[in-house]
Chain A
Amino acid sequence: MAAIAAEQAHSHDHHGPLHHQFEDLDQQNEAYLVGMWAFLVQEVMFFGALFLTYTLMRWQYPMDWYFAHNELDWKLAGFNTFNLLLSSFFAAMGVRSAQLKDRKGVLLWLGGVLLCCLVFLGIKYVEYALKWEHHLVPGPSFFYQGEANPGVAQMFFGLYFAMTGLHGIHVAVGLIVFGILWLMWYFRKTIVTEDYMPTEMCGLYWHFVDLVWIFLYPLFYLIPHP
């Protein structure tokens, strides 16, 4: 016990962000990265099941999916795509500032990410509210008058809400994660200011959220006429 305590004291004295169970910072950073990627890979599986369902349904009912997708606003979602790409750029710049220990830079870029998060969720709210008003939310009040088969259209909107909703939850989580990270930088918490890896981990999460939307956008909003 004394040895562990001594080692802990030792590592706190001399190594800053290095935790006592690691040989050096390289090993610690590698453990962080591999752990984060293991999480992201299971996120791919999580979304993967929905993408598989999507592909199967669209293959089975290509014409109905084309007609049902006309109810979605590709311009609004296109702006959101640009918004998310911009936020990914901000996140990458934020991590860069963290590497350079530039606190003001981090606060600025991460503030940009937070702003993009809010804009994304705001636009999503407008989109969902319109679907609600048009009775396009699956359930007892679902009422569709377009050219697609109404049953298939309901399945389309079921999957639309499941996939964009799951993605939206990830954006909301990103808002919380980046909000806490921003506050930690603001209050000069050494856990983030002395080691750029926590900021890098949050950045990786955010880029993953961007990746999912890169595929969701053409799959839901830009379906070609079969």
Chain B
Amino acid sequence: MSHSNDHAANHHVDSVGTYIATFGALTILMIATIAAAQVNFGHSIVNNIIAMTIAILKATLVIAIFMAVRRSSGLVKLYAIGGFVWFLLFFIMFCDYATRSWEPVKGWYGEESKVVPDYPHVTDHPGERPEKHDSGH
């Protein structure tokens, strides 16, 4: 076996500097998330996109460097990428929820079909204060 004593690829030791730099970048990104949350960018969608983009950046740093996936074999990369891509595919389910209101079919109670029942259904519970019934919405 020509490779029996050659473990260089698996045994690569990252420098302390690499880990410190990664930790520094993660901390800066964390501060950026908190700072961005204090600013109103006109629409909450912008805030949400910024927050999730930073979270995905942080996750990528952790997976690639701390979890050493960038040095792993193709099979391990496939698992790592597959797991998180699958997670995003989850949200294809929203094609259903987002388009339900387009359906001409009425709900079971004759009202417009909804993903979650409207307020009157969910407010009926013991912890609620009666005087809050009609306020707000």
Contact = CB atoms under 8 A, between A and B. Distances in A.
A145 to B, nearest CB: 7
Contacts of A99: 11, 13
Interface string A95-109: 010011000000000
8 closest A-B pairs (Cβ-Cβ)?
A224-B47, A142-B127, A41-B83, A151-B122, A222-B37, A37-B79, A89-B23, A218-B51
A25 interface: yes
6 contacts: A24-B3, A34-B76, A41-B83, A56-B115, A151-B128, A215-B59
A93 B55 CA distance: 22
B10 A26 contact: yes
Interface in B62-88: 62-63, 65-68, 72-73, 75-76, 79-80, 82-84, 86-87
A143 B127 contact: yes
Contact of B129 (A55, A150, A208, A219): A150
B30 A100 contact: no
B95 interface: no
A44 B47 contact: no
A96 B19 contact: yes
A177 to B, nearest CB: 16
Pick from A51, A59, A147, A222 the residue with the most CB of B within 10 Å.
A222
Interface residues of B, number: 66
Nearest to B41: A224
B79 A151 contact: no
Interface of B: 1, 3-4, 7, 9-11, 13-14, 16, 19-20, 22-23, 26-27, 30, 33-34, 37, 40, 44, 47-48, 51-52, 54-55, 58-59, 62-63, 65-68, 72-73, 75-76, 79-80, 82-84, 86-87, 90-91, 93-94, 97, 115-116, 119, 122-129, 132, 136-137
Contacts of A145: 129, 132
A217 interface: yes
Contact of A82 (B30, B40, B73, B116): B30
